[in-house]
Amino acid sequence: MAGWIVVALMVLVVAAVPVAAVLGILSMGLDQIYMNGRLSRAMGEFVWDKQKEFILVAIPMFILLGEIMLRAGVARRMYNAVAQWLSWLPGGLMHANIGSCAIFAASSGSSVATAATVGTVAYPEIQKYRYHEGLFLGSLAAGGTLGILIPPSINLIIYGLITDTSVPELYMAGIIPGLILSGLFILIIVVACMFRPEWSGDKPATSWADRIRVLPDLLPPILLFGVVVGSIYAGIATPTEAASIGVVFALILAAWKRSLSFKMLREAFEGTMRTTAMIMLIILAAVFLNFILGFIGVTQALIQFISDLGWTPLQTMIALVIFYLILGMFMETLSMLLTTVPVVFPLIISLGYDPVWFGILITVLMETALITPPIGVNLYVVQGIRLRGGRFNDVAWGALPFVLMMIAMVALLIAFPQIALYLPQQVY
């Protein structure tokens, strides 16, 4: 039965049916087939109960935080500062793309927002400094994926909600893998430009005086990260409260930079409402589908099926990784998280794996899905900022080396789980 559910899900997604509608159709169809429609009558009460979860308030707060930071002009100043410090490496400003994405990810919580923000700032530099456009755009798409791994991450909040896993522990677990993955991205750029020096472009002129001068431009996003994440680990605030504190701090930064206005706030609120409405509709539809799947016994049947195969935990995990890599080519990451984790998570726990570790592993796999065609969202975001136009294949091929680095990161997490678990174990 699980196989037919996956097939039905894929057919509806490929048919371009909106994801929330796909989940609702599957929920009511399964309920009608197996429970004569009895559970659907309780949908209103179920959805109302779930949407009152306090942790969900963090989602619009983090989205608003990213919107304010984008419109306050913090991203442009941050990019210029990072460029002064990293452009000496082979690959020049492509390292600034990765570094800026990593820093902005620590305040936005969203991969799409990170890719769009840094990409808008960085794109004019391609022609100015004669970079290889494909690899440059690929670095933007890949760097943007760090938004869902480096805390604060909206996806980790949702994973924590649907698996009842500690969000502060997930945040702590994402720090070291996020830094390592950023280093792997930088490494692949260095290697590519060493073999193809013409891809490096012209290095921007800089000096130690310029580097010291721009250091203050790095402080706002770093301070924001300290305020949001620090308040959680200091025991001052929950993730939801920390997100609200972050919004207040972002408003203070915008006022300090003299970019706070009614027009800017209206645009930030409108962007927040559009994104939040989309995410919440998908979440509530997925949570109800998970309820239906559990009630009719799909989860238990899947666990029993895997157990009967006689595979070792490692073999099962490798099979799941391959499954997610393939599924990520055809599904948007939030949908993939919400539709598969409630089914797969009990199996993972039954095999003895740590829920915090698995949260980081599946987040890296979702990052991979963001830059694998044909549905890689970040590829389309980066393609959308190309003012001069160009083939989508340029972005897709440019992102391929970074996909390989993500797969290497998955292998590292499986081989050395302490990469994700060291900090949570030390703190908790």
Quote the pLDDT of residue 358: 95
Quote the pLDDT of residue 12: 63
Q: List pLDDT tens digits, range 164-217.
A: 888 889 989 999 999 999 999 999 999 988 888 877 777 777 778 888 888 888
Tokens 């410090």 correspond to 85
Concatenating the DSSP letter of every residue in 146-181 gives GGGTSSS-HHHHHHHHHHT--HHHHHHHHHHHHHHH
Quote the pLDDT of residue 356: 95
Q: Which amino acid is at 272?
A: T
Quote the pLDDT of residue 179: 92
Which segments of the chain have a pLDDT < 50? 2
Q: In which element (H, E) is residue 339 found?
A: helix 333-350
Quote the pLDDT of residue 13: 57
> 231 by DSSP, 3-state: which?
helix
Quote the pLDDT of residue 298: 65
pTM beyond cutoff 0.85: no
Quote the pLDDT of residue 418: 95
Quote the pLDDT of residue 19: 61
The secondary structure of residue 71, as a DSSP letter, is: H
Quote the pLDDT of residue 185: 93
Quote the pLDDT of residue 410: 95
- Alpha helices in 52-166, H assignment, sequence order: 58-71, 74-86, 93-108, 111-122, 125-129, 133-144, 154-163
> In sequence order, what are the residues at sequence separation of 6 or more whose Cβ sits closer than 8 angstroms to the Cβ of residue 166?
160, 356, 428
Quote the pLDDT of residue 294: 66
Quote the pLDDT of residue 45: 67
**Length in residues, the chain:** 428
Omega before 152 within 30 of 0, i.e. cis? yes
Sign of CA dihedral 81, 85, 91, 92: positive
Concatenating the DSSP letter of every residue in 15-44 gives TT--HHHHHHHHHHHHHHHHHTTTGGGGHH
